[in-house]
Structure 1
Amino acid sequence: MKIAFTTSDNIHIDAHFGSAKKIDVYEVDQASYSFVTTLKFDGELKEDGNEDKLLPKIEALRDCTIVYVSTIGGTAAARLIKHKITPIKAQSEEQEITDVLTKLVQTLNGNPPPWLRKALQKPRLALDDLDQVDQSEDSRGGFAPSPA
């Protein structure tokens, strides 16, 4: 599963969701975690209640199961939840991303709490599903690659 972290320094979970200029994304499973990418945002990102800035972030996080933040507004949290992304507030702005990742791996190897089990049930579109989507589009008059 992919887990995101709002950060200013790529070490700590120290950025407000709405005003975060960077969000680090990691892949986490029962064996380990690995860095995937840093999503970068610019423009007017002040903590001012302007909800228009949320859409690009929510869209960029669509493959994530959880996003850790230092703080988040109620509207932003509700919009994330609506998109099946669970926002979690960090214990402090000094909390390190790697500490959370290590604890997540340990938790996945044990008995995850109900909130994490629910987050893990987020549906994923598998490659086989993509083939089915392509085939169904073809039957409705869409185009398909020509056979080689």
Structure 2
Amino acid sequence: MNTAVSVECVADAIDNEQALIVAFASQDGDMVDQHFGSAQAFYTWAVTADSAELIASRDFGYEKKDGNEDKLKPKMAWLVGADVVYCGSIGGSATRQLVTLGINPIKVKGGPDVEELVDSLQAQLASDAPEFWLANILKRKRSNGDDRFDLMEDEGWDD
């Protein structure tokens, strides 16, 4: 596993445009154990059916669970480029902001291990029938790829 790099936002760390970019709200990178808004850190992985690599992390320090919306801004700005973010819990405002950025928030209970979640994602990526939410993300990623102009031409777009 490579060491995560320090970047302005997740998009700056992406080498493989087809990889699923997954952020985990975690105190130490080992388990999802943080509420989104007060998360001390995020660890971001590039995941494919064949590989998984930690590509970026960012420490935000301790923040109170006080409903203060301002603490969301730096987190949202840093997560630009991610496809999914796993967290222990998340409020409605943060959920709406993530969805607007094209990031799918997933709430998990019990502090699951990051590596187990990565393994589960890899199994789904290798399958012919990933869960609905993941299939939608993969479809969106493919439509944003190099073939988007071919798709536009197929739909009748013209210069």
Q: One-letter code of the match for 1:97?
A: V
CA-to-partner distance for each residue in 1:45-91, whole Å, 9 max, x for gaps? 21111111111111111110000001111110111011110000113
User: Which one of the candidate residues 26, 29, 36 is aligned to 1:17?
Assistant: 36
Deviation, structure 1 residue 40: 1.6
The count of aligned residue pairs is 125
User: Which one of the candidate residues 34, 45, 49 is aligned to 2:63?
Assistant: 45
- Find runs of 4+ consecutive structure 1 residues off by over 6 angstroms: none
Residues 18 and 47 in structure 1, CA contact (< 8 A), matched pair in contact too: yes
Q: One-letter code of the match for 1:63?
A: G
Give the share of equivalent positions with the same residue, in percent. Answer: 33
Residues 6 and 70 in structure 1, CA contact (< 8 A), matched pair in contact too: yes
Change (3 A) 1:51 1:124: farther
Q: TM-score, normalised by structure 1?
A: 0.78
Residues 38-117 of structure 1: pairs in structure 2 closer than 5 A = 38-42=57-61, 45-93=63-111, 95-110=112-127, 111-117=129-135
Q: CA RMSD in A?
A: 1.9
Structure 2 partner of 1:138: none
Q: One-letter code of the match for 1:108?
A: L
Structure 2 partner of 1:129: none
**2:51 & 2:108 partners in 1: Cα distance?**
21
**1:84 & 1:45 partners in 2: Cα distance?**
25
Structure 1 residues not aligned, in runs of 5+: 127-148
CA-to-partner distance for each residue in 1:79-118, whole Å, 9 max, x for gaps? 101111000011312x100000001000001011221111
